[in-house]
Amino acid sequence: MHHRRHFLRTLGAGALALSPITSALAQASRPLTIDVYKTPTCGCCEDWVKHLRTNGFAVTTHDVEDTGVYRARYGMPDRFGSCHTGVIGGYALEGHVPAADIRKLLATKPKAVGLAVPGMPAGSPGMEIGPRKDPFDVLLVKSDGAASVFSSYNKTKANG
């Protein structure tokens, strides 16, 4: 009887030790969910959503008449405004932000409102126009409205 109780206690302790590991594995296997607020007729928004889904995100879209309401709700300044606003992990995503940058944001967890790609540049996710790829920056937007470059794409190297 004593051996059985010891065995059961040991088994229980082992299960408790594994629970954080199994919990982490369960979270890792679940796709990250992004809510996207977009206008109903925007094709490039749909293409950005496809980009996110192709890269393993679960996306819930919300067709709205005014994306500015959601931009304001999540603290993204209007000057970074685009045709859609995404929200994930407490961060706002404005414009055609690449999936890799969203993953990097979630991994590094900087103090910020979120990421923005202003201007709808050709070649950004959802804005593919044949072979054309305009250079663009992904900006990290802080709560005071200041922004810094988080990632750069398609930049040519300066002479030197």
The DSSP result for 78-110, as a single string, is GGG--SEEEEETTEEEEES--HHHHHHHHHH--
Beta bridge partners of 116: 94, 139
pLDDT tens, per residue, the chain with 160 residues? 555 555 445 545 444 445 555 444 444 556 799 999 998 988 888 999 999 999 999 999 999 999 999 999 999 999 999 889 999 999 999 999 999 999 999 999 999 999 999 989 999 999 998 899 999 999 999 999 999 999 999 775 443 3
Q: Phi-psi category of 117—alpha, beta or left, where left has phi over 0 and alpha has psi -120 to 50?
A: beta
> Are residues 71 and 25 located together in one domain of the fold?
no
Residue 158 lies in a domain: no
Please tell me the predicted confidence (pLDDT) of residue 67: 92
Residue 160 lies in a domain: no
> Are residues 112 and 141 located together in one domain of the fold?
yes
Q: Do residues 127 and 96 touch, judged by C-beta distance below 8 A? A: yes
Residue 11 lies in a domain: yes
Spatial CA neighbour of 36 closest among 60, 56, 55, 53: 60
What is the spatial distance between Cα 31 and Cα 48, in angstroms, rounded to a whole number?
17
> Are residues 54 and 124 located together in one domain of the fold?
yes
> Are residues 59 and 101 located together in one domain of the fold?
yes
Residue 159 lies in a domain: no
Q: Do residues 93 and 86 touch, judged by C-beta distance below 8 A? A: yes
> Are residues 37 and 114 located together in one domain of the fold?
yes
> Are residues 80 and 98 located together in one domain of the fold?
yes
Question: Going by DSSP bridges, is the β-strand pair 84-88/91-95 parallel, antiparallel, or unpaired?
Answer: antiparallel
- Identify the domain containing residue 4 by its residue range: 1-30
Number of domains the chain contains: 2
Please tell me the predicted confidence (pLDDT) of residue 41: 87
